[in-house]
Copies of this chain bind each other. A is one copy, B any other.
Amino acid sequence: MVRPGGRSARVQEAVHTAVRELDAEVGRSALTVPLVAARAGVTPSTVYRRWGDLQELLSDVAVEHLRPDTPPEDHGSLAADLQHWAEQFLEETASPAGRSYVRDALLGDPDGDNAGRCSAYAAEQLQVVLDRAAQRGEAAPDVETLLDRIVAPMMYRILFRPDGLEPPYAQRLVREALDAPAARQVSRRP
């Protein structure tokens, strides 16, 4: 039985807030469940029972951070929309904070739920861009292709080689994704 707005929701909110505040104040390495619980005005056992351990809690908080708060901006063309979206994505996600959110989201995620959610966020944003392109009558690849060509390379480098990730890299990925042969229209789920 779900009870949104009730005590459970207040506790969740308080705990998430405590994590964000303490992360900023004392840093990730000093975060502990008892510390978070104390700040949230809650018993440690409550946190353990609801989240299991600190990593799963951090994963939940990270996914909230990574959720886009606005739809992608409209710049009049598919190419421009993708350029801006990719640059913004890279800027946010390649930052030390962004990178640690991605890692947290992946880390405390036994069932892969949160990881899937992160990918879904990107896919939703891209779909908005593609829908606008379709309304304009522009030819466009599909979402899966853009994930492979734009999101995956950025994420791979963010996770495995977080050096030298600058806007031109995002621009080049977008350009090459759009330059590719137009056969990219058909569905290409793996």
Q: Which residues from chain A sit less than 8 Å from chain B, CB to CB?
A: 103, 106-107, 112, 115-116, 118-119, 147-149, 151-153, 155-157, 159-162, 164-166, 168-169, 172-173, 176, 179-181, 188-190
Residue of B nearest to A189 (CB): B164
A147 to B173, CA, bound (A): 12
Write out the residue numbers on chain B whose beta carbons fall within 8 Å of the beta carbon of A156.
Answer: 119, 147-148, 151-152, 155-156
Copies of the polypeptide in the assembly: 2
Contacts of A119 in B (CB 8 A): 156, 160-161
Q: In chain B, what residue has the closest Cβ to A161?
A: B119
Give Cα distance in the complex from A43 to B147, angstroms: 47
User: Is there an interface contact between B190 and A160, defined as CB atoms closer than 8 Å?
Assistant: no
